[in-house]
Structure 1
Amino acid sequence: MNNEQFNDRDVSNGYFLVDIEDYPTAGWDKFKRTLKRSFRGELFVGLWVVLREMIRFDIHTIKYPEEKMPIGPRYRAVHEMKRLWESETERCIGCGLCEKICISNCIKMDTKIDENSRKEVSEYSINLGRCIFCGYCAEVCPELAITHGGEYENASDQREHFVMYEDMLTPIDKMKAGKQLEFEGFGAITPHEDERVKKTPLSY
């Protein structure tokens, strides 16, 4: 391979020159150019398109934030902490798997032993400024306690935007109304799982 093909600097092959008129300097020439461009037809085509859409009243836009686009059930937005349907207590058992698997190191958890000698979560926070919404925390959770909800408006005026445990936990009134939505993504319960449940004797 030689360098002769690179020495040829003629790049005009396959190109054509555009006939560009000289820029008018006189006022009369500028006025004639304006008239020529205005009555060429493109202006009226654009005006007709706008008028046609106004007459139709077919609104293509969404009145945000009053109206929002529907999102899929597996959309990974701001986290939610679920409660148990039977006792309305927190599902989180404080195992710390979500904190360990978090690749952006945005989950901080602290647990303590309550009066019944059971582990409970005392402090839990997620730094949404660091979170990349990968979904690993929801996937590794054995109790399906932490999920990704549909609330994607997490703008903040601070760089350190934390979400505390109480803010993510499902409210009691929402639980009583039966409005807690179950997660349909990774690790979710299959539709016919209740039929497969077997009662086992308790030895304690």
Structure 2
Amino acid sequence: MMNEKNYKIVVEDDYPKSNWDIFKQIIKRSLKGELLVGLKITIGIFYRTLFKNESATVHYPKEKLPLSPRYRAVHKLLRLLESENERCIGCGLCEKICISKCIKMDTRIDENSRKEVLEYTINMGRCIFCGYCAEVCPELAIVHGQRYENASEQRAHFTLKEDILTPKNSLKWQIEYDGFGSVSKDADKKIKKTPLSY
């Protein structure tokens, strides 16, 4: 329990007791300029917008605010730059760690005895964009991109793999992310010609 010595009693002697006192208090505060402080700020913004061309408004479809590099937006499935194959090896770690249970994966063993991903879907309507799937991926196959406009009229549009997989013809514009399996910045300098066997 708190001691009564810790309390500080506030006595407001100037508290209005009648309607006439309330009216006098309003007039007194108005003459002090308390009501004009907000109007002064508004007029200042109005002046800077009209005469100094310092608008704070972003005209959205044409202008976009810069995003933080750590921003977690719509997922992207990356491809290998050399072979153009999907990086996903079908380990299923992203499906297991997903706390909102929005990732579904179906795999099979192909003719080379390797795991092949048949179906990979992310339900963007359920996803909370926590980033666990991107952190746990050993091949850096799934990352969060910069696309945040994912509105749709149908729920089916939130689960398509083709929307988040990098197309083969756009591979040269694929952004590489730092992490295990990513291409280092000095990769071209490290490449050596393979010696001929003869």
Whether TM-score is above 0.5 comes out as yes
Structure 2 distance, partners of 1:180, 1:67, is 23
Q: Which has the higher helix share?
A: 2
Alpha-carbon shift at residue 56 of structure 1 (Å): 1.5
Indicate whether 1:16 and 2:17 are aligned: no
Which of 171, 186, 195 does residue 192 from structure 1 map onto? 186
| Conservation of the 8 A alpha-carbon contact between 1:82 and 1:90 | yes
Counterpart residue type for residue 42 of structure 2: V
Alpha-carbon shift at residue 40 of structure 1 (Å): 3.2
Which of 133, 138, 141 does residue 142 from structure 1 map onto? 138
> SS at the partner of 2:107?
strand
Which of 40, 48, 64 does residue 48 from structure 1 map onto? 40
> SS at the partner of 1:109?
strand
Structure 1 distance, partners of 2:78, 2:7, is 67
> SS at the partner of 2:177?
coil
For residues 31-46 of structure 1, the aligned pairs below 5 Å read 35-46=27-38
How many residues get paired?
Answer: 190
Structure 2 alignment gaps of length 5 or more: none
Counterpart residue type for residue 16 of structure 2: E
CA displacement, residues 58-100 of structure 1 (integer Å, 9 cap, x when unaligned): 2234333443322232322211011222343322232323223
| Conservation of the 8 A alpha-carbon contact between 2:16 and 2:25 | no
Give the aligned partner of residue 60 of structure 2.
64
Indicate whether 1:76 and 2:68 are aligned: no
Using the aligned pairs only, state the percent identity: 56
Alpha-carbon shift at residue 12 of structure 1 (Å): 7.1
Structure 1 distance, partners of 2:156, 2:28, is 57
Counterpart residue type for residue 33 of structure 2: G
TM-score by length of 1: 0.69
The Cα RMSD (Å) is: 3.8
Give the aligned partner of residue 109 of structure 1.
105
Give the aligned partner of residue 100 of structure 1.
96
Alpha-carbon shift at residue 197 of structure 1 (Å): 5.8
Give the aligned partner of residue 88 of structure 1.
84
Give the aligned partner of residue 167 of structure 1.
163
Q: Greater shift after overlay, 86-95 or 158-167?
A: 158-167
Structure 1 alignment gaps of length 5 or more: none
> SS at the partner of 2:19?
coil
> SS at the partner of 1:143?
coil
TM-score by length of 2: 0.71
